[in-house]
Amino acid sequence: DRFLMSKNELLDKICVLFGGRVAEELRFGDVTTGASNDLERATQIARQMVTEFGMSEKLGLVKLGHKHNEVFLGRDIGEERNYSDAIAYAIDQEVKAIIDSCYEKVRNILVENSEEMEKIAKTLLEKEIIEGKELNALLGLEIPEEEKVVGSEEERTETQETIAEENPVGESKKSDAASNAAV
């Protein structure tokens, strides 16, 4: 895992965590307990954004709470609150706003791409695993070439000829030898 993540990367990570749950809701009109860990992780990321990373416009650039990493006399690793009930409420509201916003974003993406989602679901039921190239083909996306070469063949040939004319093979060694002999 990377140590540094931007706010947008964290929001995207939350969105990815909601993909399965939103798909269940859209496809079956109901949700299961299958996404409970995803929900827990999404909430944890959103709370960290607000309380640890200063990524809340409402609460600003502050670190809220003190973590205790020492286990002493039956206590768990925990966090001490160093803020008021009003701030705790504001934290909860900010976390909920992040979660709701990401959930709605994923919902819109999956509704807009419902046909593609169905294709992927049917293929996964048949194969269980879809590789990158297969996914691109399934979705009708352009498969990237292994090696991208810029310009036409003619442009590349002209460029190579120009380089060869400007730097003839062996001439730099001759001129270096001549200049060294002159010294």
Q: If you write DSSP's letter for every residue of 76-133 in order, what string do you get?
A: PSEEE--S-HHHHHHHHHHHHHHHHHHHHHHHHHHHHTHHHHHHHHHHHHHHS---HH
pLDDT of residue 57: 85
pLDDT of residue 58: 86
CATH class of 7-112: mainly alpha
Q: Write down the domain spans for the chain.
A: 7-112, 115-145, 153-182
pLDDT of residue 180: 46
pLDDT of residue 179: 44
Decide: residue 109, CB within 10 A, 0-12 exposed, 13-18 middle, 19+ buried. Answer: middle
Q: What is the mean pLDDT of residues 162-179?
A: 52
Q: What is the mean pLDDT of residues 61-83?
A: 66
pTM: 0.67
